[in-house]
Amino acid sequence: MAHARNEALIAWMAKNGWTALELATALSTVIRNVTQKSSTNGALTEGTVRKWRAGETTWPQSKARMALEQVSGRSAADLGFLPPDRRKSRAAPEDPLLRRTFITAASAAGAAVLSGAAPSVGSGDVLRLRQQLDTVNALDDQRGGHDRVEKAALAGAQEAVALQERAATQRTRQKLFALAADFTATAAWSCVDARERARARHHLDRALYLAGLAQDPSLTLRAWNSMSMLAHQQGDHAEALAAGQAARTTSITRRDPLYASLAHARTAIAYAHLGEGRQALRALDLAAASLDKAEPDRPRPSWIAFYGAAELHALTAIVRDRLGDAAYAEAASFQALAVLPDSFRRNRALATVRLSLAQLHQGEIDQATATTTKAFDEMRGAPLPGRMRSLLGEFHRDLITLAPGSTTALDWADRYRTEWSRP
């Protein structure tokens, strides 16, 4: 005879991160503490919980049922169990004294379970939050810096910090701190992209703290990488270099060359802004060498998905253009656009503006202005992030300097004002 699965119990376990084994262990702990019996006779097993989930057991025995109600904070009926029809059952009625005694004693035992004696927050919550983080990062890739991204990321961070207080194990607690750090770094990055520098600094300080609690060097590197970018926005290129060097010294760069490559590329940009060309080019060479050693299919967090050959080409274009080699910068921008996935919409638009700047710096005014229109088309339907607006403003200033009063410059200025004014 087929049984209907207990969907209510399954949903509650999934939401709260319980496995069948963890729940059986937790309930057995409550029962043992209440009955004061250390014997394993009558202890619940993983198989017991699986039968509940499968609907093979529709009404658990009284001790198991009361323990489940105490641990879950819900009635057995709310968890999908159906009491037998007592008119058709010869079973003895439940002893009210037993129930009162059990509930009184279970209050303390259940509290101990929920406070750490047995798991209350586990892998289910970690997985759910990680999927939520991936969604937020994907939104950032599409739209760029936006308050919606920041708010969603901060909400995720707040939930992760709250859940770690009821983590089943220290390992789970560290995973939740890591998620909180990752969410907070995403919020910070959204502010960097939007050029909301004060909020970005606040979030990055918090992200570094949480990454320390998580003991996660990859997230420490992420925070320093964003710190370096923020320092550039503030015109403090020496601090940008120091942040890039801090990223380079994190332990993850010794274990995974991909992270080392990103850190080298970030220091290259700082050296270029400081006018130290030889150091900048050497850092780029180190970034390329490290990237060649990286395993592309190695599992990594979603935030680092943006970095690879395409991003290194894009960063190379920035360095080369800053050092006065606009032709090399143009070639690097073309290389970046050739391999940048369509899903990285904001990054493609930024690489397109960088391409137009390299063309402009070679005196190709008509070609450069035509290229920038592709960036506007790339971001059609989404607001222009503050970082992109700033880069377009740089293009506008250079265009007016090189071709003041020209028809091309005036026509582009009209388009620029139209795009700037849209939300």
Specify the pLDDT at position 322: 95
Give the other-Cβ count within 10 Å of 112's Cβ. Answer: 15
How far apart, in whole angstroms, are the C-alpha atoms of residue 96 and residue 91? 15
Half-sphere CA count of 118, side-chain side, radius 13 A: 26
Count CB-CB contacts under 10 A for residue 126: 21
The tens-digit pLDDT sequence of the chain (423 residues) is 567 889 999 988 887 667 788 778 777 766 765 555 544 555 788 889 999 988 888 888 888 887 787 667 678 888 898 877 643 444 444 545 445 444 444 444 444 444 444 445 677 788 888 888 888 877 776 555 567 788 888 999 999 998 888 877 888 889 999 999 999 999 999 898 888 889 999 999 999 999 999 999 999 999 999 999 999 999 999 999 999 999 999 999 999 999 999 999 999 999 999 999 999 999 999 999 999 999 988 888 888 988 999 999 999 999 999 999 999 999 999 999 999 888 788 889 999 999 999 999 999 999 999 999 888 888 877 777 788 888 988 998 999 898 888 888 888 888 777 776 655
Q: What is the pLDDT of residue 86?
A: 44
For residue 68, the surrounding DSSP H or E stretch is helix 62-72
3-state secondary structure of 5: coil
Q: How far is CA 203 from CA 150, 157, 163, 188, in A?
A: 10, 11, 20, 5
* Amino acid type, 135: T
| Residue 163: per-residue pLDDT | 87
Q: In this predicted structure, what is the pLDDT of residue 90?
A: 42
pLDDT given at position 116 = 43
Residues 145 and 192: beta-carbon distance below 8 Å: yes
Contacts of 71 (CB under 8 A, 6+ apart): 23, 26, 27, 30, 110, 113, 114, 118
Distance CA 133, CA 125 (A): 12
Tokens read off for 26: 């937790």
Spatial distance between the Cα atoms of 412 and 112, rounded to a whole number of angstroms: 68
pLDDT value of position 30: 67
What backbone torsions phi and psi does residue 333 show, to the nearest 5 degrees?
-65, -40
357 close to 395: Cβ distance less than 8 angstroms: yes
* Bridge partners, 121 (sequence order): 167
* Nearest 10 degrees: Cα torsion 45, 48, 50, 54: 180
Show the tokens assigned to 307.
């970095």
Angle at 312 between CA 260 and CA 281, to 5 degrees: 80
Q: What is the pLDDT of residue 121?
A: 66
Q: What single letter denotes the amino acid at residue 218?
A: S
Give the C-alpha distances (Å, rounded to integers) separating 230 from 212, 246, 270: 20, 14, 12
| HSE-up (13 A, CA, CB side) for residue 24 | 16
* Total number of residues shown for the chain: 423
Radius of gyration of the chain from its Cα atoms, rounded to whole angstroms: 29
| Per-position DSSP letters for 271-337, written without gaps between them | HHHTT-HHHHHHHHHHHHHHHHHS-TTS---GGGGG-SHHHHHHHHHHHHHHTT-HHHHHHHHHHHH
Place of tokens 């030889």: 278
pLDDT at 98: 45
Position 328 scores a pLDDT of 96
Distance between CA atoms of residues 205 and 243, nearest Å: 13
Q: What is the pLDDT of residue 221?
A: 96
